[in-house]
Structure 1
Amino acid sequence: MNKIKATLIYRMKRNLKLKDHIKIVLAIAQFPVVFVAFIFSLFYQDRKKIWLIGETGNDAKDNGLAFFSYLRNRHPEVKAIYYITGRTDAAKQVNDMGPTVVTNSFRHKVIFLASHYILSTHDGYSIPFLGSNWREFKRVYGWLVPELKFVFLNHGVNKDDMVDNTNYKRTQFDYYITSTNDEYNEMSSEKYGYPDGSILETGLARYDPLQDGESSKENIVFMPTWRYYLADKNDAEFVKSDYFKKIYAFLHSPRLANLLQKSNIKFYFFPPHHEIQKRIPLFDLAGTEITPINTESSNFSEVVLKSAMMITDYSSVIFDFAYLYKRTAYFQFDLSAYRSGQYKEGYFKYNRDGFGPICTSEDELISEIEKAIAANFEIEEKYAKRIDRTFTRRDNKNSERLFSVLTK
């Protein structure tokens, strides 16, 4: 039964038209709740002055937190409120910074409708009405709050062909943050369909504090991304996948263990996606030289700063490491499967634009780690040049640029 349920959910998520129709129906069904919250919002003290900021609703470690921190420190006159739930360290941290609201609470709904800007790293999590993304909310209830605008803070750099999921017809975002000139040109292209002025090349807010932090060369971190086509697999099926087998074999390699012991380097397994996070126990890392990191209890920026080298397959988090001229490598053992089952190649070509060597086998990757350790993790000149070409600005003013756009 669980297998059937998982398969149905997966198919629904991949069927964009069906998913869109369901979301519209859910949005319409919530009219009584939306309308009551709207009436309350009419009497809210700071109506049309609020900047409602957040991420996935239960965390604070990405561009939402970085921009909220910037506003609280530099522009306390802005009525900024952060949406977050739970009695977690993250919630306590944000509560100490400034005003917050509990995610999906009735007060969240009222503040949402009383806001001037919604700023989030994610779409659906920021909308406090069941099943709605910004597009569905805007289509059904835009007439209630015509001046409300959505600012997509982003949670990485878009490098693949993502036109099916991120074109303007699907998102309806008022502003879309990009970090590089190539990304800006891609998202501004006709195929994505965004109105003039919607795509902003301000840079990610989380990059600003990275340059102020103290970097070190103590650790190596491995951050493979998820495979959407494995979402409907149970654990027994997942461990039979080539994806699991390749990563498991690498993490349990005797050659890697000997290298880490000899060099006294710490190695962390930090997959950023929640789907693989919940499957970390399957990798059986107890007693190995590998330490898993839980995304819920960690600070991504601290991981970046404390790591001397980052290894990924296709995750855009590698841009954060490249931004600081950190040593990187790609472990791409399933490129054709990834391209056919997940994202098509976009403007970013790994052989031409990548920030590190591409390894397709376990032995090749471990040899690259040996090479990096021997070089004290110094980045090779050709990759440094690619980074310079990618990031034309490193001025700690990403949040400032966004603030200027939103207040002009």
Structure 2
Amino acid sequence: MYWITKLKKIRLKDLNSLFKILAAYPLSYLLKLYKKDIWLISERPDDARDNGYYLFKYIRENYPNDNAYYAINKDSNDYNKVSKFGNTINFGSIRHFMYYFAANKNISSHIGSGEPGGQLCLNLEILGVIKNTKVFLQHGIIKDMLNFALYKNTNIDLFVCGAAPEYEYVAKEFGYPKNHVKYTGLCRFDGLHNVKVNNNQILIMPTWRHWLDGEVEEFEKSDYLQEYLKLLRDKDLNEYLKENELKIVFYPHDNIQKYIHLFGESTNNITIARKSEFDVQELLKESAILITDYSSVFFDFAYMNKPILHFHFDDSKYRQNHYKEGYFNYVRDGFGPVLYNSKDLIKEVKLRHKDNFRLSKTYSERIKNFFPLHDQRNCTRTYEEISSI
């Protein structure tokens, strides 16, 4: 049978959840007797910074009587931020398992991250033991072909999109039934209006690579590390920063944060940003210009009509070994120039600075066409779509 091919091996740490499952499953039936239409919302176990958090905040502020709950690790730095709204559940606790089994709607910004029992619970979903409506709020705008997000691999009931071309691409190419994919705008976009910009701050935020998820020794030898060290330590760049009182914040992807000590120490002009000390959305909102590679975070920056530079030093390798190009071509459709070496990148930074980090008309028009929905009703539309299921 087809579902057998989708099952994955159970790891030892997944088996630790077996006791909680056996205890929580029968209790979930009692829970459903007095709580109707439970919405269980989550992101990564330690996070409350993305679309899940913004949707939960919206619901608690506007529909406080709804049975919406947020699952997050009680030891997380973000726990107090979300717990002030109430209805907060400790991620992985027996209570989390109870609400997971009882929930009518399982809502997450990451595929496969909202299940308290890891692969064990995912397999129970595949086998049909656990049946609830699955809503994918997304972590970022999809622009490439992502096999893990295809309908045959997710069985998601509502797939939320943040942009018009993305919606058209996912609806056509990812195999979802009619009306399973909706263009509502991402919930976190509601927080990207009327922002105050620091014209002295440059944000560098690269994404990760599949081949860099191994030992530290391998990462130390990587072109990825060497290219960014070359950029951050460039004498000409550092002198320019000092002379013009500019600051760089270097914030690598979550999957690269474990190697962050290899990028060196912070200086007066360059901050090596650790995840525990900075909020991504706040960095995006306050920075004057973004330097990234292929990270979908640039869509958030573009949504605020601010300039972007793309540093594609490993373009062919990335396309061969990470994600294949989808509908979005950076040169044809992008919201900023593509640079392939640090020398040209630094030159472009200087040009943008001398132009007061203004966004050109060409890129402004592209952004306008990409985001026909540009308002503070993203949470409202998402809530209404989930409610209608």
CA RMSD of aligned residues (A): 2.2
Whole-Å separation in 1 of the counterparts to 2:45 and 2:13: 20
Task: Give the conservation status (yes or no) of the 8 Å contact 2:249–2:272.
Answer: yes
Q: Assess, with a 3 A threshold, how the Cα gap between structure 1 residues 292 and 133 changes in structure 2: closer, same or farther.
A: farther
Please name the residue that 1:299 is paired with.
279
Whole-Å separation in 2 of the counterparts to 1:89 and 1:273: 15
TM-fit CA distance, 1:378: 0.5
Post-superposition Cα deviations, 1:12-54, rounded to whole Å, max 9, x if no partner, equal xxxxx99843159998997775354221011116434211111
Return the match for 1:281 from 244, 261, 265.
Answer: 261
Please name the residue that 2:193 is paired with.
211
Please name the residue that 1:322 is paired with.
302
Please show how residues 70-81 of structure 1 align to structure 2 within 5 Å. Answer: 70-81=58-69
Q: Secondary structure at the match of 2:107?
A: strand
Return the match for 1:153 from 131, 137, 155.
Answer: 137
- In the alignment, structure 1 residue 171 sits paired with structure 2 residue 158: no
Q: Assess, with a 3 A threshold, how the Cα gap between structure 1 residues 158 and 90 changes in structure 2: closer, same or farther.
A: same
- In the alignment, structure 1 residue 106 sits paired with structure 2 residue 94: yes
Task: Give the conservation status (yes or no) of the 8 Å contact 1:123–1:133.
Answer: no
Q: Assess, with a 3 A threshold, how the Cα gap between structure 1 residues 215 and 50 changes in structure 2: closer, same or farther.
A: farther
Q: Assess, with a 3 A threshold, how the Cα gap between structure 1 residues 24 and 267 changes in structure 2: closer, same or farther.
A: closer
Q: Secondary structure at the match of 1:305?
A: helix
Amino acid in structure 2 at the alignment position of 1:297: E
Amino acid in structure 2 at the alignment position of 1:119: I
- In the alignment, structure 1 residue 248 sits paired with structure 2 residue 229: yes
How many residues in Structure 1 have an aligned counterpart in Structure 2?
384
- In the alignment, structure 1 residue 333 sits paired with structure 2 residue 313: yes
Whole-Å separation in 2 of the counterparts to 1:212 and 1:67: 19
Unaligned runs of 5+ in 2: none
Whole-Å separation in 2 of the counterparts to 1:137 and 1:50: 19
Please name the residue that 2:247 is paired with.
266
Please name the residue that 2:53 is paired with.
65
Return the match for 1:185 from 168, 175, 183.
Answer: 168
Task: Give the conservation status (yes or no) of the 8 Å contact 1:46–1:79.
Answer: no
Please name the residue that 2:81 is paired with.
93
Whole-Å separation in 2 of the counterparts to 1:39 and 1:20: 24
Task: Give the conservation status (yes or no) of the 8 Å contact 1:225–1:312.
Answer: yes
Post-superposition Cα deviations, 1:278-320, rounded to whole Å, max 9, x if no partner, equal 1111111344631011223322221111100000010000000
Task: Give the conservation status (yes or no) of the 8 Å contact 1:41–1:47.
Answer: no
Q: Secondary structure at the match of 2:156?
A: coil
Task: Give the conservation status (yes or no) of the 8 Å contact 1:26–1:131.
Answer: no
Whole-Å separation in 1 of the counterparts to 2:10 and 2:181: 26
Q: Secondary structure at the match of 2:324?
A: coil
Please name the residue that 1:384 is paired with.
364
Whole-Å separation in 1 of the counterparts to 2:252 and 2:19: 40
Unaligned runs of 5+ in 1: 1-16
Q: Assess, with a 3 A threshold, how the Cα gap between structure 1 residues 23 and 49 changes in structure 2: closer, same or farther.
A: same
Please name the residue that 1:348 is paired with.
328
TM-fit CA distance, 1:120: 0.8
Amino acid in structure 1 at the alignment position of 2:143: K
TM-score by length of structure 1 reads 0.89
Return the match for 2:8 from 21, 27, 35.
Answer: 21
Task: Give the conservation status (yes or no) of the 8 Å contact 2:59–2:68.
Answer: yes
TM-fit CA distance, 1:123: 2.4
TM-score by length of structure 2 reads 0.93
Q: Assess, with a 3 A threshold, how the Cα gap between structure 1 residues 376 and 126 changes in structure 2: closer, same or farther.
A: same
Q: Assess, with a 3 A threshold, how the Cα gap between structure 1 residues 294 and 27 changes in structure 2: closer, same or farther.
A: closer
TM-fit CA distance, 1:86: 3.1
Whole-Å separation in 1 of the counterparts to 2:7 and 2:244: 52
Task: Give the conservation status (yes or no) of the 8 Å contact 1:219–1:309.
Answer: yes
Please name the residue that 2:105 is paired with.
117
Q: Assess, with a 3 A threshold, how the Cα gap between structure 1 residues 214 and 62 changes in structure 2: closer, same or farther.
A: same
Whole-Å separation in 2 of the counterparts to 1:293 and 1:29: 34
Task: Give the conservation status (yes or no) of the 8 Å contact 1:124–1:132.
Answer: no
Post-superposition Cα deviations, 1:182-231, rounded to whole Å, max 9, x if no partner, equal 11111111x42111111111111000011144344231110111111121
Post-superposition Cα deviations, 1:90-141, rounded to whole Å, max 9, x if no partner, equal 101111112111101111000111111111111222101132465x33222x
Give the stretch that moved more between structures: 395-404 or 278-287: 278-287
Task: Give the conservation status (yes or no) of the 8 Å contact 2:8–2:119.
Answer: no
Whole-Å separation in 2 of the counterparts to 1:87 and 1:333: 38
Give the stretch that moved more between structures: 288-297 or 329-338: 288-297
Q: Secondary structure at the match of 1:107?
A: helix
Whole-Å separation in 1 of the counterparts to 2:49 and 2:167: 24
Whole-Å separation in 1 of the counterparts to 2:125 and 2:61: 32
Whole-Å separation in 2 of the counterparts to 1:363 and 1:334: 15
Q: Assess, with a 3 A threshold, how the Cα gap between structure 1 residues 33 and 93 changes in structure 2: closer, same or farther.
A: closer
Whole-Å separation in 2 of the counterparts to 1:379 and 1:319: 14
Amino acid in structure 1 at the alignment position of 2:162: S
Q: Secondary structure at the match of 1:271?
A: coil
Return the match for 1:404 from 381, 384, 389.
Answer: 384
Q: Secondary structure at the match of 1:125?
A: coil
Structure 1 runs, 4 residues or longer, greater than 6 Å off: 24-32
Amino acid in structure 1 at the alignment position of 2:342: E
Q: Secondary structure at the match of 2:237?
A: helix
Whole-Å separation in 2 of the counterparts to 1:25 and 1:289: 45
Please show how residues 207-246 of structure 1 align to structure 2 within 5 Å. Answer: 207-232=189-214, 234-246=215-227
Whole-Å separation in 2 of the counterparts to 1:171 and 1:292: 36
